[in-house]
Amino acid sequence: MEKKPSSNSKTVKTAQILPPDANAYGTLFGGKLMAHIDDVAAIAAVRHARKSVVTASTDSVDFLFPVKVGDSICVEGFVTYVHKTSMEVFVKVIKDSLLTDEQTVCATAFLTFVALDDDGNPAEVPAVYPETEQEKVLFEGAALRRERRNERRKESQRMAELFGTD
């Protein structure tokens, strides 16, 4: 498989925040923002793999600033790293206060997706390579993030066994 640049998977989505998207304080529900993040990340992963994908994990979603009703958000994501059948996708969310034109990065996240073949089994995907300085920084840190993700997954499995379905 031929390597692909990170830029090939870049995905951007803009949405205006309306009252049904917000909590009692007039700020965007965290779950709504996470849905936007997952949507953009999944599209970026499909663009890279050109296969169906499933979300394998979401690293911490860091909510840095609140998003208010009337603001818009621009959710941007791209594939930063590939490991055989899985892809790491970085997503940043930019809040745009439409009335003041103030823009702020209000959230960041890393998600992992697994590509699937036609039978629903994990499928290999092409490697990715960075081009910009920002992409290079993310690419260089991916192995450590993957290691931490695997450790966290083991802990999650241990908790699932400990607490079970009772």
- What is the structure's pLDDT at 165? 87
CATH number at residue 118: 3.10.129.10
Backbone phi, psi, residue 129, to 5°: -135, 145
| Weakly modelled stretches of the chain, pLDDT under 70 | none
Domain count within the chain: 1
3-state secondary structure of 93: strand
Write b or e for each residue in 19-49: b if 16 or more Cβ atoms lie within 10 A of its Cβ, otherwise e: eebbeeeebbeeebbbebbbbbbbbbbbbbb
Would the pTM of this model clear 0.85, i.e. be above it? yes
Q: What is the pLDDT of residue 60?
A: 82
Q: What pLDDT score was predicted for residue 143?
A: 94
- The whole domain housing 119 covers 4-163
